[in-house]
Amino acid sequence: MKHNNSWISLIVLFLVMLLVMAGCRPEPSTTPSFPLTSTPATTNNTSQVPPSNSPVPPSNSPPPPSTTTTVLTFEQAAVNGAAVFAAFCAGCHGAEGQGGIGPALIGTDVELDDYGTADVLLGFISSEMPQNAPGSLQTQQYLEVTAYLLVKNNIVWPGNPFDPAKFNGIRLPD
Ligand code: HEC
């Protein structure tokens, strides 16, 4: 009896095709969408990806150890200081600190010895510079740009720990 079923199926299929063709005739532009309908289903796969990331209850976890400046070396602080210098100082003191509108800050022409020690130099820079916006930088930026000047002028050894509390012990040579 399968033959009969196949016949019925073929007839039904034929009738359905007739109906589809008849229905599509007024607007043929919709027919191309029929073979494409299977593709959108694949995009649902992404719904598997986000499982519950939400459980975020570790209120007991200690705050990350604050990276204080004391763990830095002068060399590391000077890396940040170089960026500060380039952004806020180089326009007047030269890209290499060689001098410009403002006096030289790096090299043999520098006369930072007037300030005596690094903490006095830091105080001057913090309160007077950048000359067009004195005191406008963050404390850390002033520390780092001062470290940059100290390293570049070979006043400190780059491997020394960067400890601003000891700036008063760093003498500025002639
Ligand atoms: C708008 C220009 C300008 C900018 C920007 C500027 N300076 Fe100056 N700076 C000057 C001038 C002009 C002088 C000299 C007059 C004075 O000492 O006030 C000077 C003096 C200095 C001195 C003293 C030099 C000496 O021989 O006595 C230091 C140190 C200094 N600047 C550091 C800095 C640092 C660090 C920055 C960036 C954070 C900076 N300056 C940004 C114009 C500038």
Which one, of 174, 72, 70, 164, lies nearest residue 118 by Cα?
164
Question: Residue range 53-74: average pLDDT?
Answer: 65
**Amino acid 67: pLDDT:** 55
Asked if the model's pLDDT at residue 128 lies above 80, the reply is yes
Determine which residue's CA is closest to atom 15 belonging to ligand 1: 102
101 lines ligand 1 (CB under 6 A): yes
Q: What is the mean pLDDT of residues 9-20?
A: 57
Mean pLDDT of 133-137: 98
Highest mean pLDDT among 15-19, 60-64, 109-113: 109-113
- Reported as a pLDDT band with limits 50, 70 and 90, residue 57 is low
pTM exceeds 0.85, yes or no: no
Whether the CB of 91 sits within 6 Å of ligand 1: yes
Q: What is the pLDDT of residue 23?
A: 55
Instruction: Indicate the domain borders of the chain.
Output: 69-169
Residue 155 Cβ inside 6 Å of ligand 1? The answer reads no
The region of weakest confidence among 11-15, 27-31, 70-74, 89-93 is 27-31
State the amino acid at position 157 in one-letter form: W
Per the document, the length of the chain is 174
- Which pLDDT belongs to residue 39? 47
Candidate CATH numbers 1.10.760.10, 3.40.1410.10, 3.30.1550.10, 3.40.980.10; the one for domain 69-169: 1.10.760.10
List beta partners, residue 171. 117
Residue 135 and residue 127 in contact, taking contact as beta carbons nearer than 8 Å: yes
Give φ, ψ of 73 to 5 degrees. -95, 165
